[in-house]
Amino acid sequence: MSKQIKYSIIIPMYNEEAVIQETYRRIKKVMSTTGDTYELIFVNDGSKDQSAEMIKDYSCWDETVRLIDFSRNFGHQIAVTAGMDYASGEAVVIIDADLQDPPELILQMIAKWKEGYEVVYAKRIKRSGETFFKKTSASLFYRVLRATTEIDIPVDTGDFRLMDRKVVEEMKRLPEKNRFVRGLVSWVGFRQTPVEYERDERLAGETKYPLKKMIKLSLDGIMSFSYKPLKLAGYLGMALSAFGFVYLLYVLYLAIFTHATSKGWPSLVGITLIFDGAVLIMLGVLGEYIGRIYDETKGRPLYIVRETQGLADSRIARRE
Ligand code: UDP
Ligand code: MG
């Protein structure tokens, strides 16, 4: 194990027993063609099925297999982060466990890396086998993210990517809890380049990203890279005040110069509802940010590992 490892492949998994064997086989096949040393780091994110046991089995006869077993489900982004903390390769690749990201693309990423790029991200030019809702919501999200944030986060790009050791070391210095990994990688900088691919269907099983997790991920993406939602309150307030002022002038005009006395509390109810709604929405936005500040100040570790397999336990994973 003292040999320097060239490539680390990080595979986060949450209840992926239906696909994991095939994933292992396909990635293995691709990596063996590189002729270099590599390790496969499976991060078990609190699966309730046999995923972890299967990996443990593989690690009995395959010394490239490693397992980081979380004490519970901490979420995909945290699983990926743990993988980076433990990875020792010169280049580190993140790939989904469900074979939606074709492992064969890793070879193209490696080629780009050897050309001198420090981050090679996979850009989806087509997604097949996903629902209309998933595709449109994802596409919309990437565009909103692009419009609201100052840093350049590439659109239609997931976490499937290769990173140079330098990038991984910088990523390990970022302590934030509500992590949006692909945004952080953009933030870190370095020479980045895309490789394009068509996203396949999930091999088996169901998506582990229900709507709730999708919303959490999108909020993390937008809120950790942008203050714009907070500024919205200011703009909204100004627009409403301006409107109120003009309306007041009009009412005064009616009262002084005409005899049309306005009766109509229904309109008042309507206006009150709109204004109260706006205030509540902004309170919600404030709450989201304050919640995040609270998460950071608690200073809890990002994740808890039950056990590892194939990894040096003495490794100092993360500077908290
Ligand atoms: N995943 C995880 N923890 C979670 C949810 C998902 O580690 O809480 C893993 C999952 O096993 C898969 C990857 O993250 O390897 C992407 O999840 P999925 O394929 O379900 O998302 P989708 O492709 O539908 O967006
Ligand atoms: Mg998937």
| Separation of alpha carbons 196 and 70, rounded Å | 32
Which residue puts its alpha carbon closest to atom 19 of ligand 1? 207
Tell me the ligand closest to 70's alpha carbon. Answer: 1
Q: Supply the pLDDT for residue 224.
A: 80
Residue 177 has pLDDT above 80, yes or no: yes
| Residue 84: predicted pLDDT | 94
Does ligand 1 come within 6 angstroms of the Cβ of 45?
A: yes
Q: Where are the beta strands (DSSP E) in the chain?
A: 7-13, 38-44, 65-70, 91-94, 119-127, 157-164, 192-199, 305-309
Mean pLDDT, the chain, as a whole number?
Answer: 85
Tell if the pTM clears 0.90, that is, is over it: no
CB atoms within 10 A of CB 306: 12
> 71 and 37 in contact (C-beta within 8 Å)?
no
- Residues within 5 Å of ion ligand 2, judged at the Cβ atom: 98, 100
The residue with greater pLDDT, 87 or 245, is: 87
Pocket test for ligand 1, best of 78, 134, 197, 209 (most atoms within 8 A of CB): 209
- Does 229 contact ligand 1 (Cβ within 6 A)? no
| Weakest-pLDDT range from 14-18, 53-57, 258-262 | 258-262
Q: Whose CA is nearest to atom 10 of ligand 1?
A: 13
Mean per-residue pLDDT, 282-299: 82
Q: Is 101 in the pocket of ligand 1 (CB under 6 A)?
A: no
Ligand number with the minimum distance to the CA of 134: 1
More confident residue, 178 or 115: 115
The alpha carbon of 17 and the centre of ligand 2 are apart by a number of angstroms equal to 14
Mean pLDDT of 33-50: 94
Cβ(208) – ligand 1 distance below 6 Å: yes
Residue 182 and residue 276: Cα distance in Å, rounded? 36
What pLDDT, in 10s, does the model give residues 70-89? Answer: 999 999 999 999 999 999 99
Residue 104's pLDDT band (boundaries 50, 70, 90)? very high
Asked if 78 and 56 touch (Cβ cutoff 8 Å), the reply is no
pLDDT at 308 over 80: yes
Instruction: Verify whether ligand 1 is closer than 6 Å to residue 75 (CB atom).
Output: yes
CA contacts within 13 A on the Cβ side of 32: 8
Place 314 in a pLDDT band, splitting at 50, 70 and 90: very low
ipTM of the modeled complex: 0.94
Through-space distance between the first and last CA atoms of the chain, rounded to whole angstroms = 27
